[in-house]
Amino acid sequence: MIDESSLDMLIFTAINYNITNTRTKISKTHGDTKTTQTMNNTNTNLNHKPNNDNYSPEDIYFMEYVLKLAQNAYDNGEVPIGAIVVAEGEIVGVGQNRKETRQDTVAHAEILAIQDASKKLGSWRLNNSTLYTNIEPCIMCCGAIIHARINRVVFCTNEPKFGGIISQTNLFDIPTLNHKVNYQYGLMQNESQTLIRRFFREIRTKLNS
């Protein structure tokens, strides 16, 4: 079960959509040229808009699968997050959030899906694959996605507290990284938000009873 302090943090995360962080300056020395990139970390004022166009029937099918995994995580008392890795049109890795169940910091859905895919394919390199998840991957998972050489990430909705793609930082847009991850979000956003809100509403009800 989730302890009370963890619940408080989860609720804080869910309702804290209005945090405005100070601008972060990242300075990188690249060869002889010093480049300064300024990232706007205002959670609600990012230069990214949901992209609801150009989703294929396969994208919809796979995201529906992810939402079933997220529901399964929900049923197990976890924050409802699911993830899959798809390669050549097939699901090769499956994961759902198991952080509380395992009491494991890194047992995020995306990490478990990547591990599952690597095991199935016999390689840590997951080039030309797509990772689908209902919530914007956190900073840790973004790092794993880059390391795994995943080509594309599709997610439903942003994650203001820890999101590493459009919320807290823009890891997939760092120009000096040697691997580019494409990303899209907004697909089935309402379904994902409904699930997340229902989960936290239930927690609040339990806490107040």
Contacting positions for Zn ion (CB under 5 A): 108, 138, 141
Say which of 58, 78, 100, 110 is annotated catalytic.
110
How, if at all, do strands 90-96 and 82-87 pair? antiparallel
CA distance 60 to 151: 18
Distances (CA, A) of 185 to 23, 49, 119, 153, 163: 23, 8, 27, 8, 12
The nearest distance, CB 137 to Zn ion, in angstroms, is: 5
Closest to Zn ion by CB, 9 vs 207, is: 9
Judged by beta carbon, residue 37 or residue 41, the one nearer Zn ion is 41
CA distances from residue 19 to 63, 160, 200 in whole angstroms, order as listed: 28, 8, 19
Q: Which is nearer to Zn ion, 59 or 159 (CB)?
A: 159
110 is catalytic: yes
Closest of 117, 185, 127 to residue 156, by C-alpha: 185
Residue 12 CB, nearest approach to Zn ion (Å) = 17
Nearest approach, Cβ of residue 138 and Zn ion (Å): 3
Q: Exposed (0-12), middle (13-18) or buried (19+): which is 38, by Cβ within 10 Å?
A: exposed
Report, in Å, the least distance between residue 26 CB and Zn ion. Answer: 21
Nearer to Zn ion, 138 or 188 (CB): 138
Cα distance between residue 155 and residue 117, in whole Å: 18
Known catalytic residues are 110
